[in-house]
Chain A
Amino acid sequence: MTLSGLKTWHRVALSLCVGLALWHGVVVVFDLPKFILPAPQLVAETLWKSRALLAEHAVITIFEVIAGLVLGATIGGLTAIWLASSKTAEVLVRPLLVFSQTIPVFALAPLLTLWLGYGLLSKIAMALLIIFFPVTSAFFDALVRTPSGWLGLAQVMGASKWQIMRQIRIPAALPGFASGLRLAAVYAPIGAIIGEWVGASKGLGYLMLLANGRAKIDLMFAALVVLAFFTLLLHTCVDRFCVKILNQHR
Chain B
Amino acid sequence: MTTPPGLFLRGSARIDAKPLFGPVDVTLPAGRWTCLLGPSGVGKSTILKLFADLATGVSFDGTFGSSDGAPLAGRIALMAQEDLLMPWLDLRQNVSLGARLRRERPPSDLAETLLAEVGLTEHIRKHPAELSGGQRQRVALARTLMEDRPVVLLDEPFSALDARTRADMQDLAADKLAGRTVLHVTHDPGEAARLGHQILVLTETQLIKVPAPHSAIPRPVDSAEVLDLQARLLNQLRQDS
A interface residues, Cβ below 8 angstroms from B: 147-150, 152-159, 163-164, 167-168, 171-172, 174, 248-250
**CA of A107 to CA of B174 in the docked complex: distance in angstroms?**
69
Question: In chain A, what residue has the closest Cβ to B153?
Answer: A156
**What are 26 A-B contacts defined by CB distance under 8 Å?**
A147-B84, A148-B56, A149-B82, A150-B86, A152-B54, A152-B78, A152-B80, A153-B97, A155-B53, A156-B53, A156-B54, A156-B77, A157-B97, A157-B98, A157-B102, A158-B98, A158-B101, A158-B102, A159-B102, A163-B101, A163-B103, A167-B101, A168-B101, A171-B86, A172-B86, A249-B88
Task: Identify which of B73, B76, B84, B102 contacts A149 (C-beta below 8 A).
Answer: B84
Interface string of B197-226 (1 = CB under 8 A from A): 000000000000000000000000000000
Q: How far is the CB of A163 from chain B (nearest CB, A)?
A: 5
CB distance from A148 to the nearest CB of B (A): 7
Taking CB atoms, residues of chain B closer than 8 Å to A168 are 86, 101
Asked if A150 and B84 sit within 8 Å, CB to CB, the answer is yes
Distance from B192 Cβ to chain A, minimum over Cβ atoms (Å): 24
Given A155-B54, A156-B76, A171-B88, 10 additional A-B pairs, CB 8 A: A152-B80, A156-B52, A156-B78, A157-B98, A157-B102, A158-B74, A158-B98, A159-B102, A163-B103, A167-B100
Task: Determine chain B's interface SS by DSSP, over half rule.
Answer: loop
Mask for B42-80, Cβ within 8 A of A = 1, else 0?
Answer: 000000010011101000000000000000011011101
The residue in chain A whose Cβ has the minimal distance to the Cβ of B54 is A152
A-chain residues with CB within 8 Å of residue B78 when the two chains form the complex: 152-153, 156
- Bound state CA distance, A69 and B237, in angstroms? 62
Q: Given the complex of chains A and B, what is the CA–CA distance between A153 and B98 in angstroms? A: 9
A residues in contact with B88, CB < 8 Å:
171, 174, 248-250
Nearest first, the 10 A-B pairs at minimum CB distance are A159-B101, A249-B88, A157-B98, A152-B54, A156-B78, A171-B88, A149-B84, A153-B84, A157-B101, A163-B101
Q: Which of B74, B97, B127 has the most CB of A within 10 A?
A: B97
B82 touching A154, Cβ below 8 Å: no
- CB of B147 within 8 A of chain A? yes
Query: What chain A residues lie within 8 Å of B86 (beta carbons)?
Result: 150, 168, 171-172
Is B87 among interface residues, defined by CB-CB distance under 8 A? yes
Chain B residues with CB under 8 A of A156: 52-54, 76-78
Q: Which residues of B contact A153 (CB under 8 A)?
A: 78, 80, 84, 97
Q: How far is the CA of A250 from the CA of B94 in the complex (A)?
A: 13
> Which residues does chain A contribute within 8 Å of B54, judged by CB atoms?
152, 155-156
- Set of chain B residues within 8 Å of A174, measured between Cβ atoms: 88
- In angstroms, Cα B101 to Cα A98, docked, is 33
Q: In whole angstroms, what is the CA distance A172 to B98 when docked? A: 17
Q: Smallest Cβ distance from B142 to chain A, in angstroms?
A: 14
Q: Are A149 and B101 in contact, CB atoms less than 8 angstroms apart?
A: no
How many angstroms from the CA of A229 to the CA of B111 in the assembled complex?
50
CA distance A150 to B147 in the complex (A): 16
Q: Residue B129 at the A interface, CB < 8 A?
A: yes
A153 to B102, CA, bound (A): 12
* Complex Cα–Cα for A202 and B56 (A): 58
Chain B residue, CB-CB nearest to A245: B88
Cα distance A156–B147 in the bound complex, in angstroms: 10
CA distance A91 to B54 in the complex (A): 25
Chain B 146-160 interface 0/1 with A at a Cβ cutoff of 8 Å (1 = within)? 010000000000000
Partner of A154, one of B53, B56, B101, B127: B101
CB contact between B87 and one of A148, A152, A159, A250 (< 8 Å): that residue: A250
Find the residue from A157, A167, A174 having the highest chain B CB count within 10 A.
A157
Q: Are the CB atoms of B101 and A164 closer together than 8 Å? A: yes
Closest to B104 in A: A158
**Chain A residue nearest to B55 in the complex (CB):** A152
Chain B minimum-CB-distance residue to A150: B84
For the complex formed, measure the closest distance between the CB of A133 and the CB atoms of chain B, giving whole angstroms: 27
CA distance A79 to B101 in the complex (A): 23
How far is the CB of B104 from the nearest CB of chain A, in Å?
Answer: 10
Q: Name the distance in Å between B126's Cβ and chain A's nearest Cβ.
A: 11
**Whole-angstrom distance from the CB of A4 to the nearest CB of chain B?**
29
Instruction: Give the contacting residue for B102; candidates A147, A163, A172; CB below 8 A.
Output: A163
Residue among A152, A154, A156, A248 with most chain B CB within 10 A: A156
Give the complex CA separation of A156 and B103 in angstroms.
Answer: 15
B66 to chain A, nearest CB (A): 15
Q: Beyond A152-B52, A157-B102, A158-B73, is A249–B87 a contact (Cβ under 8 Å)?
A: yes
Min CB distance A159 to B, Å, is: 4
